[in-house]
A and B are shown apart, each in its own frame.
Chain A
Amino acid sequence: MMTEARLDVDLNGVRFPNPVLAASGCFGSGREMAGVIDLAGLGGIVTKSVTWAPTRGLSTPRMAETPSGMLNAIGLQNPGVEEFRAKDGPFIESLGVPVVVSVAGTSVEEYSQVTLRVRDLPGVVAIEANISCPNVERRNQVFACHADQAAEVIGAMTRLTTVPVFAKLTADVTNIVGVAQACVRAGAHGLSLINTLLGMAIDVETFRPRLGAVTGGLSGPAIRPVAVRCVYQVAQALPETPIIGIGGVTRAEDAVELMVAGAWAVQVGTANFFNPGAVAEVAAGIGEFLTRKGLAGPTDLRGKVQLRRNVPEPAHRRG
């Protein structure tokens, strides 16, 4: 008889009941979904990114559907960390599902201040630093696009808390491994790969950009190959560092692909919008997949990509 696979995962001390979490900005804090689905099947929830002050975000249109994906330009709308504590804090404490708080800012100081206000919330097992934000002190360069600026934020946050910090990186860089290594050296416990890819869509009838903010982040199945590549490259360079794979997961097979590339866990974002049960369904599907393959748990998938021998360095071969 086949034994059933265990789904719980341990990311060097950060534990989740299964390897599938809801991605930041795609699940609220879970409060909105509590009446819609049974939250018990979730591996965890990453909250919508929280900033210091209430942030109203960008003007509409904030989304544009594109082939197998969508562009969004929300502009980090959130009520600010004080209201987040007051409204979502008690919910997170009572939830019984591990919560990762996503922290965003536009200066190192803001990331630090927000970290100080969320590090003590009961129920929070980790902090995710959304560093795909413009740095107002450095000509609005995006933190995650520069290894030194990314490391500065992560270093400041990890000095302020013993709660493990995951750095969420963007693939819009020439060398994601370099940024990943800098974050780990600065104290990041793990890495979340990847955030949305910067994109743009234009209405050809009116010649107007389809997003109010002109450009926005691409998500959904369209970006999955990019996510798999990033996870693979970073996992090869940093095999001891927990990696959470994110990008275009809609089914268990997609999650398995990211884990075989090197992810220790995954997050599901856009899929929640059209399938509110996506996170739990993907988790259950991974269980079935493991059982079918006779594997004991998600770690049996991690980084198990089978490279053929004598393959030339694949990174820059594009056709």
Chain B
Amino acid sequence: MNAERIKDDELSDEPVPVMQQLLDNPFLLLFLGIAMPTVLYIVWGVMEIVSLPIAK
């Protein structure tokens, strides 16, 4: 492999901070980025609309 790829001396044993683990996980972010607006905007909004009484 070439020098651009991982060099051993750049790998450290320090634990990765939790926040960085979150930021480094695109699929967890994808889940959060979909769940938040789905629940707070769409589901909440749609629940309010369907609970409106229908005019007679």
Partners in one complex: no
